[in-house]
Amino acid sequence: MSKLIKLVLLKIVRFFVLGTIFLTFFLDKIFFYNKGKIEKPIFIIGHLRSGTTFLHRFMCDNFMDLKGMMLIDMLLPAITTRKLLKPLVPLLKRMSLDKVYDPRIHETNFFLPETDDIAIHFRYAEGILSWVYFGSWQKYPSTTDLEQSIRNAAEKEKFIHYLRKIHENNMYQCSKRMVSKSFFGIFNIETILEVFPVAKIVVLLRDPLEAIPSLMSLEKSVQSNLYDFDRQDENTKARFFENLYAMSLFYYKHLDALFSNEKFKGKLQLVTYNELKNDFKCTMLRIMDYCELERHPDILHAIDMQDNKQSSFKTEHKYFLEDFSLSKKQILQDFDFIYSRF
């Protein structure tokens, strides 16, 4: 299938989803008045491939008083839609999305907890995820222009207000706490704290030597499935990876600035990927204490079980710096501010 046809199909799907969202939100106002209440929400935020999916899904699966959004909840967020589609759930559960995401890198289906960036993409065609998919192909006159493009895509108050709306729908007839996972959230910390004053924000940090090539490998796989990546000329592919690298550098600089800002002192909980990987139990207990989560015996058992798995886990996702014309020396030099701080 040609790149043009795939792009057209993607736009058709997005406009269908967007039209459904507007119609069913209108019906919600008529038939459903009592939305769920959001109390003490938890936000998991980090650069792509930093362990956010792992932490988010572990918490959604094992903490019975927490609830995140599944992919289907983001594509069809209105309460009306969920009522109408209930008979189709068995069919949707059999549908595979492996043609888009390689399950060895990122397992995806309609009924797994997912990043809120997907909801933002289908509602606004903006956000970090949208920039990675589309903005990373563009030519930018300067690094400043590229960074401004990222800000324009990711830093929007309306995103947080929209998340509040759809998470409220997700909490309909439910007394659980909201847990959100996103990439774009790092650029909207101030708005998050304005809209959710008692929010608990967990920021994940992974060594750029690991996170950047992992991101590039994932996106190469996705772009190959969607846009015939391998058929692009070498200059275009090189520009794509260079832009992703520049985006990552800007993201880490922004993260570093947040932790340098006294205004956010004590309001952000930093967790490193290595802590999750090598000291899972202690790290989870620290996250639980910060998020004010009770240490129920069944949760502690789930943590112990996962802690035992961590040491023997080996990912099937293989990648190398050289695949993307990167070097260890270059990353250590460009990201020295992260290594010196953390």
Domain hosting 32: range is 3-341
Q: What is the pLDDT of residue 10?
A: 66
**Are the C-beta atoms of 208 and 248 separated by less than 8 Å?**
yes
Q: What is the pLDDT of residue 9?
A: 67
Q: What is the pLDDT of residue 145?
A: 98
Q: What is the pLDDT of residue 50?
A: 96
The pair of three-digit structure tokens given for residue 149, joined into one six-digit string: 């493009």
Q: How many helices (H) and strands (E) does the chain have?
A: 17, 5
Q: What is the pLDDT of residue 52?
A: 96
Q: What is the pLDDT of residue 79?
A: 87
Residues of the chain with pLDDT under 70: 1-10, 33-35, 96-106, 108, 227, 311, 313, 315-316
- Model confidence pLDDT, tens digit, residues 167-206: 999 988 888 999 999 999 999 999 999 999 999 999 999 9
Q: What is the pLDDT of residue 19?
A: 81
User: How many domains does the chain contain in total?
Assistant: 1
Please report, for the domain that includes residue 294, its CATH number. Answer: 3.40.50.300
Beta bridge partners of 205: 272
Q: What is the pLDDT of residue 102?
A: 58
Q: What is the pLDDT of residue 342?
A: 72
Q: What is the pLDDT of residue 331?
A: 97
Segment 300-306 long-range contacts (CB within 8 Å, at least 24 positions apart) = 302/58, 302/62, 303/62, 306/58, 306/280
Q: What is the pTM of this model?
A: 0.89
Q: What is the pLDDT of residue 84?
A: 83
Burial class for 177, CB neighbours closer than 10 Å (0-12, 13-18, 19+): buried
HSE-up (13 A, CA, CB side) for residue 1: 12
**Are the C-beta atoms of 177 and 41 separated by less than 8 Å?**
yes
Q: Which of 278, 281, 308, 316 is nearest to 295 (CA)?
A: 281
